[in-house]
Amino acid sequence: MKRVNCILVVTLFLLTGCWGSSKSGSESDTFITVDVRSSYPKKKLILQDFMDVEYVQLETSRDFLTQGFVQAIGKEIIVVKNFVRDGDIFIFDRTGKGMRKINRMGQGGEEYTFILGITLDEDNNEMFVNDPGRILVYDLSGNFKRRDIEIAYNEVKSPNMTRITDTGLTLRSVYRYNSIIQHQNNFIITETSSDTIFRLLPDYSMTPFFVRTPSIQTMVPEIFLFPLISTDRYCFMEMFKKEADVPKTNLLYDRQDESICAFTINNGDYSIKTPVVLSFSSALISQEIAFWKKIEAYELIEANEKGELKGKLKEVAAKLDEDSNPVIMLAKYRK
C-alpha cells in the first residue's frame, strides 16, 4: 500500500459532530455518506440569515502589499499570502494592521518550495505550511519545526488534469486544496485517494468524518469530495469532477431534515443579488469564523458609486481608494 504524508496540528479536542449523522450511536462511529453520482435539489440562502459578517480592511503600505489570499485567522492575527508564487507570508492583527512579513521559500530542508496552504496554531505560536509532498512547521517569527502523520490508500488519485488540444498544446489544470483544515475547534484531514475524510483525535488516531460513494478507486473520471464549513444546522461540501470545463458543485447537508441539496448563498449587504461562492481554500474554519472572502477595493468602490451597497460594507467602501489592499469578509458563527 502506498502512503502519503499529512500534518499533525495543535492540541486537539474531540469533534463536536456537525458532520456526524443523527443516527444513534457514539459520535466517534457516526458519519454522513454522500453519493457523488446523485443529482440533488437546489436551495437558496442569504448569508446574514445564519451567520454574522465582519469586514476587515488590510493595511496598505509599501511593506504590506498583498493579493489577500487569507490562510488562517486566529484570535489576534490574520495570516495572508499572495496568489503568485513569491513565498511571502503576511501577518496582520485582527484589525488589519500589518505586523510582519515572513519568507522561507527555497530548496533547503527547512524551506518550502510552494505554499499550498497554511494552518495556524496560535496557542502554540506555530503555523503549518503545506508544501507539495511535505508539511513544514514554523513559529510565527519564521523559525522552523516539523511534525507529520500518514494515511494509507491503494492508488494515487489527484484532481489535477493534463490534456492536449487539437493543436498539440498541453494544458494543465491544478485544483488547489489543503490536506488539513481546522474545523471549529478540531482538525480534518483530506486525502484525495481515500474514500474517507478523517477527523484527528487527541491521541493522534483518526476516525471517519464522512464517507463518499462509490469508491474513488473505481471511478473514471474521478469525482472528488471536500469538506468546507459547518454551522449548527448546515454542513457544506464541495464536489469536483475531474473533467475539462465541468464546474464544481456545492452541496450542503441539512441536519434539521437530514437531507442533502445543492445551494447558492447571496450577500445581504448588497442591494442586488450577489453570490458568495464557497471553496475549499476559503474555508478557514475556527471556533469563531466559518469562512472568508476577498473583495477587491475597486469592486467595492464601483458598487458603492452605483448605490449597490448598504450597511457596514457601504461604510468600509467609502474609505477605500483603488490602490487599497483587498477587504476581507469574515463569516462568523452566530452565537
On whether residue 89 sits in a domain, the answer given is yes
The pLDDT assigned to 308 comes to 97
Q: What is the largest CA-CA distance in the chain?
A: 59
List pLDDT tens digits, range 286-334.
Answer: 678 888 999 999 999 999 999 999 999 999 999 999 899 999 999 998 8
Note if the bond before 247 is cis, omega within 30 degrees: no
On whether residue 159 sits in a domain, the answer given is no
**Rounded CA Rg of the chain:** 20
On whether residue 164 sits in a domain, the answer given is no
Domain that holds residue 34: 2-154+170-333
On whether residue 320 sits in a domain, the answer given is yes
* Residue 15 clears pLDDT 70, i.e. is over it: no
The pLDDT assigned to 202 comes to 63
On whether residue 193 sits in a domain, the answer given is yes
On whether residue 162 sits in a domain, the answer given is no
The pLDDT assigned to 291 comes to 87
The pLDDT assigned to 138 comes to 95
On whether residue 323 sits in a domain, the answer given is yes
Q: Which range among 3-17, 96-110, 217-231 has the greatest average pLDDT?
A: 96-110
The pLDDT assigned to 197 comes to 80
Note if the bond before 159 is cis, omega within 30 degrees: no
Instruction: Give 233's pLDDT tier (boundaries 50, 70, 90).
Output: confident
H, E, C per residue of 300-312? HHHHHHCCCECHH
Residues 6 or more apart whose Cβ sits within 8 Å of residue 173: 160, 161, 162, 163, 244
Q: What is the pTM of this model?
A: 0.69
What Å distances lie between residue 59 and 3, 92, 113, 226, CA to CA?
42, 8, 27, 32
* Residue 29 clears pLDDT 60, i.e. is over it: no
Nearest to 298 by CA among 318, 321, 276, 273: 321
The pLDDT assigned to 102 comes to 96
Strands 180-183 and 98-103, sheet pairing: unpaired
Which range, of 2-6, 69-73, 130-134, 218-222, averages the lowest pLDDT?
2-6
- Strand partners of residue 225: 239
Q: State the total domains in the chain.
A: 1
Query: For the sheet containing 196-200, what is the strand order?
Result: 32-35, 206-213, 196-200, 186-189, 180-183
On whether residue 165 sits in a domain, the answer given is no
Residues 6 or more apart whose Cβ sits within 8 Å of residue 79: 70, 71, 72, 73, 89, 90, 91, 118, 120, 127
Cell numbers for 160, please give them.
489535477
Say if residue 135 is exposed, middle or buried (CB neighbours under 10 Å; 0-12, 13-18, 19+): buried
d(CA 323, CA 23): 52
Question: What is the b/e burial string over 246-271, where b = at least 16 CB atoms within 10 angstroms of the residue's CB?
Answer: eeebbbbbebeeeebeebebbbbbbe
Residues in the chain: 335
Nearest to 294 by CA among 55, 117, 94: 55
Nearest to 10 by CA among 123, 178, 116, 141: 123
The pLDDT assigned to 142 comes to 94
